[in-house]
Amino acid sequence: ASTQHQPRGAFIVFEGADRAGKSTQCQMLVEHLQAAGVAAELWRFPDRTTAIGKMINSYLTSQAEIDDAAVHLLFSANRWEKREELLRKLRAGTTLVVDRYAYSGVAFTAAKGAPGLDRAWCMAPDAGLPAPDAIFFLNLTVEQAAARGGYGEERYEKADFQRKVLEQFQGMRDSSWRVIDASQSIEDIQQQLREQAGAVVARCQRGGEPIKQLWG
């Protein structure tokens, strides 16, 4: 059997618009898994700690202006530079709970509506990256998100743009995405996530689950 079919960690991605509760739920889920004896790590994209990630951070905090196409490729490169470590961790049995991935990459750039940067163009650089075993989409309207105390200071944190991002997510998501009503209480959402993620972790631990690739 190929090494991909051995028992391994699960690759679990969280997506959703800003303030939907991704970071809160990811953190809680990782702590829950660890307390249950599951090897698990919290990852996030962009990973702002790398050289590429520092350029992305400068862009998001408006310390740098970068061409729309170029910054899109930086976000993708930031995933590619983590690919080997990600695969190594999964094969070593570590479950990765990941706060945003390539779906955010496509949704945020396509939402700009810039000439030439349509969804197909946005998807191309991520083709061949490891695909997650589960995608949880925390579903919240812009109005509900804004009621959580308003958006922050970063480049994309504006209601009009967030609405366009949500439209992109709706157009992209398929039946494999697990849509969670993010207007529920933090505890209720976490309960549902623990059940569903637990099943995915168990499936990957049993083996026989190949690591697929985007955009499969």
Which residues here bind ligand 2DT, judged by CB under 6 A?
45-46, 60, 75, 100, 104-105, 108, 156
Question: Is residue 205 at the binding interface for ligand ADP, with CB under 6 A as the rule?
Answer: no
Binds 125: which of ligand 2DT, ligand ADP, Mg ion, none (CB < 5-8 Å by kind): none
Q: Using N-to-C axis directions, what is the helix angle for 102-110 and 159-172, rounded to 10°?
A: 120
Total residues interacting with ligand ADP, rule: CB under 6 A:
13
Please identify, using beta-carbon distances, which residue of 23 and 141 lies nearer to Mg ion. 23
Alpha helix locations (H) across the chain? 22-35, 51-60, 68-80, 83-91, 102-110, 119-123, 142-146, 159-172, 186-206
Please identify, using beta-carbon distances, which residue of 17 and 38 lies nearer to ligand 2DT. 17
Record the tokens describing residue 6, joined without a space: 């051995």
Single residue of 127, 179, 186, 199 touching ligand ADP by CB under 6 A: 186
Please identify, using beta-carbon distances, which residue of 17 and 110 lies nearer to ligand ADP. 17
- CA torsion through residues 43, 45, 49, 52, sign: positive
Question: Is residue 94 at the binding interface for ligand ADP, with CB under 6 A as the rule?
Answer: no
Chain-centroid distance, C-alpha 136: 9
Find the binding residues for Mg ion in span 5-24 (CB under 5 A). Answer: 22-23
Binds 130: which of ligand 2DT, ligand ADP, Mg ion, none (CB < 5-8 Å by kind): none
Question: Is residue 16 at the binding interface for ligand ADP, with CB under 6 A as the rule?
Answer: yes
Cα(137)–Cα(25) distance, integer angstroms: 11
Q: List C-alpha distances in Å: 82 to 23, 98, 129, 163, 165.
A: 19, 12, 10, 30, 25
Contact residues: Mg ion, CB under 5 A: 22-23
Please give the residue ranges that form the binding site for ligand ADP (CB under 6 A).
16, 18-24, 148-149, 185-186, 189
